[in-house]
Amino acid sequence: EIVLTQSPATLSLSPGERATLSCRASQNVNDYLAWYQQKPGQAPRLLIYNASNRATGIPARFSGSGSGTEFTLTISSLEPEDFAVYYCQQRGHWPLTFGGGTKVEIK
């Protein structure tokens, strides 16, 4: 099973600041990596697929990069609605796995 390690666990930032979230895979997943956003009481929402492609309707301030075992989600300038928990998911190998999540909170 591929283990995804996300860091940091919590990111405390102010609106307008840049957020950089990391996801490290225990094995090569090529670019089979997705990022999700989840807000309290809501289902997860797909932000990024294939490591760097934005899903439909996702604002340009969200960007993904990386391949192999190291991946990054960047939010260029945080909006109030971006404070949430973010998960990476690898889709390259069964079983599918999620990272433990990064909570982006208001500083």
Partner 1 sequence: EVQLLESGGGLVQPGGSLRLSCAASGFTFRNYAMIWVRQAPVKGLEWVSCILEGGHTTYYADSVRGRFTVSRDNSKNLLYLEMNSLRAEDTAIYHCATYQQRLPFDNWGQGTLVTVSS
**Contact residues for partner 1, defined by CB under 8 A:** 1, 32, 34, 36, 38, 42-46, 49-50, 53, 55-56, 87, 89, 91, 94-101
| Minimum CB distance to partner 1 smaller for 14 or for 56 | 56
80 three-state secondary structure: helix
Give min distance, CB of 60 to partner 1, in A.
Answer: 16
Give me the residue label for tokens 């760097």.
Answer: 52
| Minimum CB distance to partner 1 smaller for 69 or for 89 | 89
45 CB-contact burial (10 Å; exposed 0-12 / middle 13-18 / buried 19+): middle
Give min distance, CB of 80 to partner 1, in A.
Answer: 23
> How far is Cα 103 from Cα 7, in angstroms, rounded to an integer?
10
Give min distance, CB of 68 to partner 1, in A.
Answer: 17
Q: Is the peptide bond before 8 cis (omega within 30 degrees of 0)?
A: yes
| Minimum CB distance to partner 1 smaller for 60 or for 94 | 94
